[in-house]
Every structure is written in structure tokens, then in C-alpha cells.
Chains A and B, each alone.
Chain A
Amino acid sequence: MASDIPVQVEGLTKNYGTFPAVKGIDFEVHMGEVFGLLGPNGAGKTTTVEILEGLRPRTGGRVSVLGLDPGLQSKQIKDRVGVCLQFTNLPDKLKVREALELFASFHTRTTSSDELLDRLQLTEKRDAFYSQLSGGQKQRLAMALALINDPQVLFLDEPTSGLDPQARLEIHILIEKLRNQQRTILLTTHYIEEAEKLCDRVAIMDGGKIIAIGTPREIQAKTLGQSVIEIRCDKPIPNVELPQWNHSEKSQISADRKSLAVISSHPARTLVEIVKWIDQQNIDLADVHLKRPSLEDVFIELTGRKLRE
């Protein structure tokens, strides 16, 4: 496997007893890229990431992290990558500063704890017990521990799961900063917005398989998902029957008759017609908004289910 690609997965399978959790998946994470595994609970995301981290043996396929095999060289991998796991805790009476010192002692290469505390806005909390931290602060500490060995590759398993919106935003900003530092990040999430916002490329997983892979835009473009054109007018649209615009499926007028929403499979063509029609009604446009299909729409289209069902 090529050594300049930090994470490579080929034909990976994993069975728990007779249950196939991962059914043969392939992907690569390139240097400096934020790659997202998106899917519902039980899709096989965590299993995949834990195999890469060297925490679980795989059933079949080839896997390489920083040119190493997690099945055989897990200790070297753990020393060099950063990991933020779901559902972990630290002892209640452990202080923030002590947690960093402790985990630093396990690695051969470490970065300054003070600098990390500063970067993660935990300096004020350095002498606080773990039990005294809020959910967001605990997660920032988990991120700090993941960064203690200054890793070039990071695995973040549901890094914002269960956090409030403010804490989630803080983690997003941090991940963006890590991306700017050219670190390679593999993250799993079941939040669509997170994948769309943070990831350069996404693989959508369902039932142990990858059902779509590419940049969020590419994935959206590949599907038959329809866009919604939202138009706001400066005065109410007259109470006439709306025409059947080209490629449009459904049109809806708001209660105040100033807004119009049209679902279209070819928004450019539909939009031109709508604008012409509105002009003919002697109305001016206040706002035009085009909503492309989201990854959620793509997921529904590919599986017939909602992501969080």
C-alpha cells in the first residue's frame, strides 16, 4: 500500500460472531484531509475506526495507518495517532493538568501541556477535578488528550455527540483549526450538518457498507435529489392559479402570499420561468434562495430511511 496515504482501507470486513458489522469497505484518507464517516447508529462507523486505531482485530481485508498494520503494530500506531473515543471517562478526582501529564507519559513524543490547555481554553480549569467539568469541557479535555502526542493523524469518533450547540460549535472551530494545520482527520458522525461543514470528503455508511463516497457536493450532485427554490416578493402574489413551470414538481405559497416555494429537478430552468412570471405580475423580488439537496436527502434517497431513525 502506498505510504504517502495516511489511511488506507481495502475490502475491510468485521464479524461479531455471525453478525457482519462491516461488509467489505474501501476508502482512503489523504494527507491533510478531513474525512467523514457518516451514517446512522449501527452502520459500522465505530467498528471501522476502532479497527484502524488498533483496538479491534479485523475479520478480513487490508488496512494501513501511517504505513503500519493496526492488527500487528497497534502499539506504534497508538503512539503516533490521536484518538478521541466515544463514551470514555477519567477518574472523577483526577485534575485536568494531571490527566495531560499522565497521558503524556505514555507517548514517546509529546507536545507542551500548557500550550494545549491554552489552545483548548482549559487553562482556567487546569486544577479542576474531572468531575467538575461540563460536558463541553470534558470533550475539550478528551481532544487535548488526543493531541498530547502532536499526532499527524487523528481519529475522532462522534466528537460532538451529546454536546449542547455552543460546545459543539467550539469543537467544530477546533477541528477547523486542526485542518488548517494540515493534520489528517478521520471523523465519524451522525450529524449531517457536521459532515457538510467540516469534511472535505464523506463516505456514507449504512448496514456495514459504504453507499456513497465523495465530496459533500459530489454526493449531492450524484443523486436525483431535488432543489427547493424559495422566492420572497415585495408584495403579495395575486390569487391566481400558479402555472406549471418546467421541471417543477410542486409549488406552494405562504399564508401572507409573499413567499413562494417550488420544488424542481432543474432549478436553473425553473427559476428563469418563475422570475419571468413574477415580472409579468408586476411584482419585484425581495429575495431568492436555492436549497440544494442535503446529505440527509441523499441518505433518504439511497436507503429509504431517515439518518436518525
Chain B
Amino acid sequence: MSERDVTRPNDTGRNIPPVAISETSTLVNPTGSWKYIMPRYEDRVAPCNAGCPVGIDIEGYMYLIRQGRLREAADLLVRENPMPAVTGRVCHHPCEDSCNRASLDEAVAIHSVERRLGDMILAAPPPPAPERTRTETVAVIGSGPAGLSCACFLTRMGYGVTVFEAAAEAGGMLRLGIPEYRLPRAILDRQIERIQAAGIDLRTSTRVGTDVPWTELDEFDAVFVAPGAHVGKDSRIEGAEGVTAIRPGLEFLKEVNAGERPDLGERVVVVGGGNTAMDCARSALRLGADVTVLYRRTPREMPAIPQEVREAKQEGVEFEFLAAPIGVELDGGDFTGITCQRMELGEPDESGRRRPVPIEGDVFTVTADTVLTAIGEDCDLSFLPDEVHTTWGLVEVDALGESTSAPVFAGGDVVDLPRSVADALGGGKRAAIGIDHFLREKAGEDVTEVPLDALRFGGGNVSALRYTKDEDPIPREAPVNETVTWDQMNPNHFHTVPRHEDHFHDAVDLRSAFGETNFGLTQKEAIEEAERCLNCGVCNRCELCLIFCPDMAISRREDGGFEIDMRYCKGCGLCAAECPRGAVTMTREGI
């Protein structure tokens, strides 16, 4: 036995590790038994999707762009919106108003990304026409956004579709009402050609009720009524009857948009604060007139798209707020201008906006050569049979566009208030679903009720992809049809990034030019803008849950998603708290 040194540890034969590391694997300790709540991946709905009247999976195509899958992004977009090159230009983009990113810095410029994808689609050859799988045929009255949308979705569902258009060319208000500088005709033509190429029988210069009697539509199995609103509201200016210098703005727009260049004189007054008023003012400006917009409320109450108002101002349109035309100024029988009543804002009316009330005795004169009235449009529904009920000048329909007299359906401006291109497109889509369901039921197919709530993005418009149950290019984890609010997200992981604004034509040489004023974003900018999307409510594989899990209970699946090993998940909730998008939920279920 050797001499032992009592001043040194006697560790011969013992294998003490250099650090305090457990001798056994921690896998023997299934800490999952501690939990009383557990996480679950649940994809929710981004507020842009819920806020889109068309029912576009905006968040979805942003996700695909982020992954560099541009073509698939464009496909997903056009699945829900048949004319993105149009809406990318003229939509009032309520999606951006609901964008959660606005709470972080600025909303994603969704319209610019949509426009870029829309132009990309137009540049590619059209897809093959969908197969005709149904024997039934549908008549569509009107080739505006509502009619074409309904026709497009019906052809995709396999129906034969005939579109009746009163005007010489298809497009409805897109062609007649919206000026070229906002929507170039080449873009509109190509967009319509693509929809038509799906096998639609388009009959232009054919007005239902005169060229084709309503009764002739009996040969179709269903009818979709979407003729639009083309009758300018009466200006109610005293003494205006027979004064040719006072005319409906929409009529003027139709002339200009048809290529005419009417002489308005030097001074033009536009009455109204909506998009038609802005279109009239900016078109009149381009014909060389000095233009003043007369609006009876304040800028805050204007229904026009704010960007349109900004551009009108930049181009030199003058605005006179809190002013209403009440009379005509004549000099020896010649029209010289209008008498205006100064207004002030009173109590809110049924629209929630403060009602303008006259300030007694405060009357002034505005000189003008022409007055364009743009205070709203009415629908001409005289061609409809009595069984199709109308209320306040609008067709009565249910949630899927079905009128009181099946198989007549309706949508677009004859149904909606307020009206927009996006609402018309969305209404066309809903009606296509309604017609499909109606015809299947009629054919004796075993169809259950349309699960309307499940088809909607959150509380928003319906998804065609959900209705047809086609494959979603984005793998969804246990989707829940609820819209994610900003307070359900964790902003700590986001960085502020300035929004890309559209490039605009220089305002200096706008007069007399009807070329497009907004050039949108470059491809690179649009992709960067898509990368600003927070993918609210949807797992975009950012991996933060995996990084933050203190038990390393989260791992990646082969398909890119994540799975949680519940044997080790202690239910601490860090993954749910750290998830930037609110795509992880803590639940008691299954415990």
C-alpha cells in the first residue's frame, strides 16, 4: 500500500466530471407531467384578409413572396381576385386601413404589391380555359367588375357563361367611369381579355330589356344582374333645368373616357366629394380648365380615396369646403356661375358624419363656365320583373346574392352602398358561389348549406379556394377563422422598416396628359414591401418558438413546420408569449 498524501483529494478510481453535468440523460425526466396548460399551433386570419371586400388571401401571397415563390403568389392572388392589375391601381385598399403593421410603423403598401403581381400575371400567357364540367348556363348582365368576377368564378366552376353588355366594349364603370390616367386602357383590355379567354360568351352593345327582352333569359339556368349605377343624381340646384352648362359629371367622364375632348370653358366647378368628383375634376384639369371642387362638408367627411384627393390638390385642383350650390347666376340669359350657400357642420346624421347645415344669410357666388355634378349615382332597374324586389333603388339579395326571385342573383353597384370596385368583385364571387349551390341543389345533388362563416376570412369576404376545397399552397396548422388583433401579437421581435411609396409622375406636365400618373413600385421594392408583412396570425416558420423553448421540446418537422414533444413541454407558455404573430395558443384541452 503506497503512502497516501492527505492534502490531496483521493479521486483515484473515481471519474468525477470536470463540471456539474448530470450523469444520466435528462430524457429520463419527462417534465411534461408538470403542465396544466399546453401550447398548440393555431393559424389565424390576418386583418388584411378580413378587411378585403374581394376576399383575397393577402397574407398568403405575401408569405409566398417572402419565400421567393412569386409565381405561386400570383396564382393565389388571382384565385380570389380575377383582376389584380386593376384593383392594384384603383382599389381604395381597406386592407391597408386594417393592416396591423400600422401599429408598428406604417401599413404594408399592399396595393403596390398587388399591382406588381397583377402586372406580372398580365405579362404571362393566359392559363388554359377551364374545363366545361356543368351542363347549366348562366346569363350575366353587365361586364363591370361584379359581372366579370361572377362570370370568371362560374367558368372556373365549369359553367357556361354569357355576358350581356349594353356598351360597345366590356368593363362597365372601369371603362366608362374611371379615367385613363388612373387605369390605362391597355391594362384594362388585357385584364378583360384574360377573363374572357376562359370561355365566356361576351355580347357587347346588347342591352337587356331593349336589345334582348328579359324573357329571353329564360333559356339560362340562372341570371346574375350587375348593370351598375349609371344615372347621375339630380343636383337640385334651383333654376338648373335646361341650363346646358350644368351637367352630370358621370356623363362628362363617359365622353372623356370614350376619347372625346368636350369644351368646358376656362372655369369648371365640380360639385361633390366622392371619387367621381375627383375623376371629373382631374379630367377637366387635363382639358385645360381651372377647376374648383365644391363640397358641402369638410375634407374629413370626403368619401373619395384620400390618395385621389392628394393627387388632385397636387395637380392644382382648388377646393371650396362647406359650400353647397343653391342657384344659377345668369347675365342676360347667359350662364355665368352658381350661387352657393355657406354651410357649417351640425349634428351627426345616419351615416355618422356631421350633417352640413346652412349658415343663414351667408351666400356667395362662384363664377363658372361649366358645372359638373357628382353627388352620387342611381341605378336604372326598370328592366327587372316585379318579382325581383328592390328597396331604395337597390336589388334585395341575401348573403350569396340571391334575389327574391330565384334563379335571379344580383351584385355590384345595384346591391352595394357604399360602392367600390372591390365590393363589386367580392359580390360577384359570392353570387357565383350562390349560383353554383343553387344549381347543384336544383340538379338534385346532395348539397348541404353553404358554410358561409367558414368561407369568410375572419368576418370578411368569402374565399373561392375554401369553397372549392382546392389545395392551399400554404400549410396551415389547425386553422382558426378568427382575425388576429395587434394586442394578440408580440411586437418585440419586429423592426421598423419604412414603407415604400408608389412612384408618381411629375405633376408639372399633367395638364392635357391622360397617361398614367402612378407608376407603382419596382419589382425589388414590391418584394421588400412584401417582406414587411408580419404574417399576422400565421406561422411563417420564424423559429422563435423553437429558440425560446427552455425544454427543447420543440423541433422542426420534415415539412418545415414544428412539433412539440408533450412529454417534455412543461406548459410554461414562452412559445405562445414569444410568437410574434399570435400563431400559438395555450389551451387546457387534452390535459
Same complex origin of A and B: no
